[in-house]
Structure 1
Amino acid sequence: MIRFFKKIRQGLLFEGKFGKYLLYATGEIILVVIGILIALAINNANQKRSIREKEQTYLKGLKEEFQTSKLKLAELVKVNQANYRGARQIILYMSNDDEPPTEEVFSQLMYNTFSFDISYNPNNSLLNEMISSGSLKDISNTELRNRLTNWIATMEDISKQEYELGLQREKVLDMFRTNEQSLRTIFDLTGTNRMIELPKAGKKNRLSNLSLLNSTEFENNILMFILTSYATEKTHYEPLMGQLDSILAMLNTEIQR
């Protein structure tokens, strides 16, 4: 094709038709430019399609991650609520002199309330990979991109609150690091001794922990635990669940059916 046009130009030049030669040459240049523009447009379209396909892959992966993270948070909220209720029951026993719990009931209550630490561990593998690789820019929805970026900062705030809750839990447990109280009694009466393969202390050697119900220090530690546990749910977990729902809604909107 190029040779064909070249022959035409040479023929016009040879015949001395300079005007037609220039006009033809100009038209040929325009055709070449148009061809280049078309090629660029096709290439840009292919690139955009590739980016959109990549974005859809990310969006679907993020949806799976955040759905799992939501389930984890829901389970963690249940654990925190159970701990809160157990601690509150201890305060109720301390406030009611007429109905003290048995040693076994108190031991089970202490075990159920303070055996399980609170730590939210969301699935952020894909999100962290996107942030570290700079792929977060491939998310075209600006608001969604901002929410995903802020999610990591939110996790840091949640960790700080959980750390504070852990400290309050430890203060309660530290009261069993003395000669006046006995973890062994709790282990025996809750069956924990069997799980860790320890022999029972025996009723004669079993030390009662019910004196804690008359301890102001113990009461203060329990109340601080309740307050921190309540704040963890109301000012951190509940807003976090709202963020999860919002992000999942935006992901569902962006994902092409």
Structure 2
Amino acid sequence: MFLFFKKIKKKLIVENRIKNYLVYALGEIVLVVLGILIALWINNSSQYYQLRKKEQTYLIGLEKEFLITQQKLDTLIKINQKNIQGAQEIVQAMDQRPIEISERQFSNLLYQALAFDISLNSNNSLLTEIINSGSLKDITNQELKQSLTTWMATLEDIKQQERDQEDQRQALLDFFKSDQYSLKTILNEVGVLESNQEKSQGGTGNNMDLLNSVAFENALLLFIFSAEGTDKSHYLPLKEDIEKILSLINQEIED
């Protein structure tokens, strides 16, 4: 084709048809520019496709991570609420005069309140990789990008709250490190130490005096305050954050 245009150009010059030659030259420039623009468009389209494909891979992986975290959080919320309920029932029993709760009932409530620690082990390996590699810029949804940016800071805040709650839990368990009260009694009463349908014998004591202890009551109330804070100020808002992130991810994932 270019050979054809060269022949026309030579013919125009020979015939001294300057005006027509200029039109031809302009057309030739236009063709070159169009060719460059088309090449750039193809290249940009290819890059956009690759970035979009990369983003989709990230989104699918992030969806899996946040779904797992959501399941873990739902389980922790239930456990923590049972902890709170058990501790609150002990406080209510301490307010009764005369105290009507039995050793077995007391042991069951203590076990319910203190047996399980609270810790959200969120798997954020992919999100950490995305942030550390600078690939967060490839997330096109700005609201989702902002939520992912603040996610790690939110988790660290929750970790601090969980540590505070664990400190209060340990303060209650410390009462059973002395010779005055028996952890074995609790475990026997709730059936943890039962073997062949026979309770473990020996070394058991009575923990009922704790129900008259102001120090124990204060420690119990501090534990309740901390657990309530974990539930209402941290876990429930985090649950809403996860639901929002999953909704935004779902909007961006292509069918």
TM-score after normalising by structure 1: 0.88
Aligned equivalent of 1:213, options 196, 211, 229? 211
Deviation at 1:7, TM superposition (A): 4.5
What residue is the counterpart of 1:130 in the other structure?
130
Deviation at 1:10, TM superposition (A): 4.8
Deviating above 6 A after TM superposition, structure 1's stretches of 4 or more consecutive aligned residues are none
Deviation at 1:201, TM superposition (A): 3.6
What SS class does the counterpart of residue 176 from structure 2 fall into? coil
Code of the residue aligned with 1:43 in structure 2: it is N
Q: What CA deviation, in whole Å up to 9, does each residue of 1:50-95 have, x standing for no partner?
A: 2222222222322222222222211111000000000011111111
What SS class does the counterpart of residue 208 from structure 1 fall into? coil
Deviation at 1:120, TM superposition (A): 1.2
Tell whether 2:27 aligns with 1:42: no
Which is worse superposed, 27-36 or 53-62?
53-62
What residue is the counterpart of 1:55 in the other structure?
55
The answer to whether the 8 A contact 1:130-1:136 is kept is yes
What SS class does the counterpart of residue 176 from structure 1 fall into? helix
What residue is the counterpart of 2:67 in the other structure?
67
What residue is the counterpart of 1:86 in the other structure?
86
What SS class does the counterpart of residue 140 from structure 2 fall into? coil
What residue is the counterpart of 2:243 in the other structure?
245
The answer to whether the 8 A contact 1:164-1:228 is kept is yes
Code of the residue aligned with 1:82 in structure 2: it is K
What residue is the counterpart of 1:170 in the other structure?
170
CA distance in structure 2 between the partners assigned to 1:17 and 1:32 by the alignment: 25
RMSD: 2.2
Code of the residue aligned with 1:206 in structure 2: it is T
Tell whether 2:208 aligns with 1:191: no
The answer to whether the 8 A contact 1:184-1:201 is kept is no
What residue is the counterpart of 2:222 in the other structure?
224
The answer to whether the 8 A contact 1:51-1:138 is kept is yes
Matched-pair identity in %: 47
CA distance in structure 2 between the partners assigned to 1:26 and 1:77 by the alignment: 73
Q: What CA deviation, in whole Å up to 9, does each residue of 1:87-133 have, x standing for no partner?
A: 01111111113343322222222122111000112232221221111
Deviation at 1:29, TM superposition (A): 2.8
The answer to whether the 8 A contact 1:182-1:208 is kept is yes
The answer to whether the 8 A contact 1:172-1:218 is kept is yes
What SS class does the counterpart of residue 192 from structure 1 fall into? coil
In structure 2, stretches of 5+ residues that fail to align are: none
CA distance in structure 1 between the partners assigned to 2:200 and 2:251 by the alignment: 59
TM-score after normalising by structure 2: 0.89
CA distance in structure 2 between the partners assigned to 1:165 and 1:18 by the alignment: 92
Which is worse superposed, 100-109 or 76-85?
100-109
In structure 1, stretches of 5+ residues that fail to align are: none
